[in-house]
Chains A and B, each alone.
Chain A
Amino acid sequence: KAGVTQTPRYLIKTRGQQVTLSCSPISGHRSVSWYQQTPGQGLQFLFEYFSETQRNKGNFPGRFSGRQFSNSRSEMNVSTLELGDSALYLCASSLAPTGAYEQYFGPGTRLTVT
């Protein structure tokens, strides 16, 4: 069974621009979560989607948004990029929400903002 895939793997953007990252979950998984990982803050939860609905949201500004499609694929968008948004963005999928199910991570998208 194919794992979680994320595109693109690497991205360089300029301050003020916006970016869209994509995540395809493991086949059959309907829940997708997004995380930001930085050396200083570790893994920070962004949001979780299940059946096209956002179930949970972390403490990030409104510049960070996401959505999920009917095939469970998900995208996250960051508008008006800031230098501090440089990070590894990870997507994880699980069979169902509630946090009780195991999450499996994709390879991540490394975003660099200059």
Chain B
Amino acid sequence: QKEVEQNSGPLSVPEGAIASLNCTYSDRGSQSFFWYRQYSGKSPELIMFIYSNGDKEDGRFTAQLNKASQYVSLLIRDSQPSDSATYLCAVTGGNEKLTFGTGTRLTIIP
């Protein structure tokens, strides 16, 4: 079982709709959770981080964390073509190492 798992996609969402990206992790001792966006040919850009169970909202982005079920998700409301990118989930495990998932490729269809 991979430490951090994401559906590789591609995930296609119509413009204006909600995009939902999911991530599961195996280490129950994980404490910190991050979402990065990576455009083709560019480096990852931090867009959200969450440490506590529940929801965290920042503009059109909402991160959701459920430690009991070991999953973290990212919702993007009112999806725009500029949101088309690969989204990487990253988790800090009990060993204090940051582990990345392989990413979900998101395409927003105009």
Chain B interface residue number, banded: 20 to 34
Given contacts A45-B97, A45-B99, A58-B97, A100 and B45 within 8 Å (CB-CB): no
| A39-53 CB contacts (< 8 Å) to partner B | 42-43, 45, 48
Render A54-87 as a binary contact track against B, CB cut-off 8 A, 1 for contact. 0110100000000000000000000000000000
- Please, which residues of chain B bring their CB within 8 A of the CB of A33? 98
A56 touches B103 (CB 8 A): no
Q: How far is the CB of A95 from chain B (nearest CB, A)?
A: 13
- Please, which residues of chain A bring their CB within 8 A of the CB of B93? 99
A105 touches B43 (CB 8 A): yes
Render A78-114 as a binary contact track against B, CB cut-off 8 A, 1 for contact. 0000000000101000000111101111111000000
Given contacts A45-B97, A58-B97, A103 and B46 within 8 Å (CB-CB): yes
Closest to B102 in A: A42
Q: How many residues of A contact B (CB 8 A)?
A: 22
A105 touches B98 (CB 8 A): no
Most B CB within 10 A of own CB, among A48, A56, A99: A99
Most B CB within 10 A of own CB, among A33, A58, A103: A103
A90 touches B98 (CB 8 A): no
Of the candidates A88, A97, A105, the one whose C-beta lies within 8 Å of that of B96 is A97
10 contacts between A and B (CB under 8 A): A33-B98, A43-B100, A56-B95, A98-B96, A99-B32, A99-B93, A99-B97, A103-B46, A105-B43, A105-B44
- Chain A residues packing against B (C-beta within 8 Å): 33, 35, 42-43, 45, 48, 55-56, 58, 88, 90, 97-100, 102-108
